Structure formats: structure tokens, C-alpha cells
Amino acid sequence: MTSWIPLATVAECPPGASLERVVEGRIIALFHAAGQIHALDGVCPHQGGPLGKGLLTGCVVTCPWHGWQFDVRSGQNPLSENVRQPVFSVKIEGEEILVQLNDEDAAEP
């Protein structure tokens, strides 16, 4: 079962922006890059840094804690093909940015 969850408005995530939202027990990072909104799991796989507060350069976000990088379109780390951050589908309805979460994505309380 999947749900489309409104996370932010388009105005809150202008081109070049990074944004962090907490929804249903998960931290989601939103990025406006290459003319689109992208959503990644917001918890860096290195040591849990906040990717939604990272620096976005082109389509690459740099984790603010130790500098790991991810392509926000694919979640791929450019240095290791084994490191890929989960990505979520995004759609825009009116002014709302919605992200598709699977029910099993919800974190345990």
C-alpha cells in the first residue's frame, strides 16, 4: 500500500533549495535540482547526518556532517556504487509537493 503525502509547497523549495521534513516517523530530504523536485531518505547512511540540510550543488547534495555526496536524482554516491540512498517518487499538485511513501517505509514508533 502506498500513500502520497504532502510535504511542502513549491514556494518553500525553490530552485537550488534543500529542505528537510519529518513525516510518519521518517525524515525526508527534498531538493529542487535540474528543474525538478527530488526526494531522498533524509538520514545519511554514514552516521545519520541530515541530508536535507546539506549543500546542493547542481544535482549533488553534500552531507553537512562529513561530506558524503549523493546525486539527488538517483540517490547514488559518486565514489561507491554500493552506496545508494533510497529515493521517493514526487508529484506536484497545484502548489503542493507530494511524496509517495510505502506503508512499510514508516519507522517503528
Q: Which residues would be at the binding site for ligand FES (CB under 6 A)? A: 44, 46-49, 63, 65-68
Closest distance between ligand FES and the C-beta of residue 54, in Å? 8
Q: Which is nearer to ligand FES, 67 or 78 (CB)?
A: 67
Counted residue by residue, the chain has a size of 109
Element (H, E) at 2: strand 2-9
Q: Which is nearer to ligand FES, 10 or 107 (CB)?
A: 107
Cβ of residue 64: shortest distance to ligand FES, in angstroms? 8
CB of 53 to ligand FES, least distance (A): 11
How far apart are the C-alpha atoms of 94 and 9, rounded to whole Å? Answer: 9
d(CA 30, CA 17): 8
Give the strand order in the sheet containing 69-71: 55-57, 60-62, 69-71
CA 64 – CA 50 distance, rounded (Å): 7
CB of 46 to ligand FES, least distance (A): 3
Residue with smaller CB distance to ligand FES, 45 or 96:
45
